A and B are shown apart, each in its own frame.
Chain A
Amino acid sequence: QKEVEQNSGPLSVPEGAIASLNCTYSDRGSQSFFWYRQYSGKSPELIMFIYSNGDKEDGRFTAQLNKASQYVSLLIRDSQPSDSATYLCAVITYKLSFGAGTTVTVRA
């Protein structure tokens, strides 16, 4: 079982719509969860981090964590073409482990 799994995508959404990204993790003891955005050929950049169950909002981004279900998600509201990228879910176990990423394309 992979440590971090994401829906593979690609995910295509029209401009202005909500993009919903999902991630599950295997280590029930994980405490810290991150969403990174990675443009092609670039290094990942942090979008959100979340430690507690529930929702955390930052601008157009909302992260949701459910530790009982070992599930973390990212919502992107009012999607813009500049949001087109690969989104990586990452979880800290004894290391920072990444999911395979979900590629999002926002259609103008």
Chain B
Amino acid sequence: GAVVSQHPSRVICKSGTSVKIECRSLDFQATTMFWYRQFPKQSLMLMATSNEGSKATYEQGVEKDKFLINHASLTLSTLTVTSAHPEDSSFYICSAYKTGLSYGYTFGSGTRLTVV
């Protein structure tokens, strides 16, 4: 199998605070993980590619100082939304790529972030 666990599923935070979201591959090692953001009634937009042991690669327009990504082990990547603002409220989803699987990508269950 290829299971990705994402926590928390929901979080509400105050404006100006930071929130950390965890993404774990449970039964495989993931050298690469991906972080997506989805606003209501819109599609998933790739924010960044998380590479184990090296810096993340951010998509154009994504602030790397605001969305901190750490991929310190082969099974864990974290996304920290720093100094959160209401416009950061969104559905954040991680994905991991397992080599050998014909379809490759498996998704976490997502985190609903609400900044008040």
Contacts and interface: CB of A to CB of B under 8 A. Distances in A.
A97 B46 CA distance: 8
Interface string A39-55: 00111111001000000
B54 interface: no
User: Main SS of chain B's interface residues?
Assistant: strand
Interface residues of B, number: 20
A25 to B, nearest CB: 13
A44 B107 contact: yes
B44 A88 contact: yes
A41 B42 CA distance: 12
A108 interface: no
Nearest to A101: B43
B109 A43 contact: yes
B49 interface: yes
Interface in B39-78: 42-46, 49
A95 interface: yes
B34 A43 contact: no
B107 to A, nearest CB: 5
Contacts of A96: 34, 46, 95, 105
B95 A46 contact: no
**Residue among B6, B43, B45, B103 with max Cβ neighbours from chain A (10 Å):** B43
Contacts of A98: 43-45
Between B103, B105, B110, the greatest number of chain A beta carbons within 10 A of the residue's beta carbon is seen for B105
Interface of B: 6, 34, 42-46, 49, 91, 93, 95, 102-105, 107-110, 112
Q: Which 8 A-B pairs have the closest CB atoms?
A: A43-B110, A98-B43, A100-B43, A49-B103, A98-B44, A43-B107, A43-B109, A95-B46
23 contacts: A34-B105, A41-B91, A41-B110, A42-B109, A42-B110, A44-B44, A44-B93, A46-B103, A46-B105, A49-B103, A88-B43, A88-B44, A95-B34, A95-B46, A95-B49, A96-B34, A96-B46, A96-B105, A97-B46, A98-B43, A98-B44, A99-B43, A100-B42
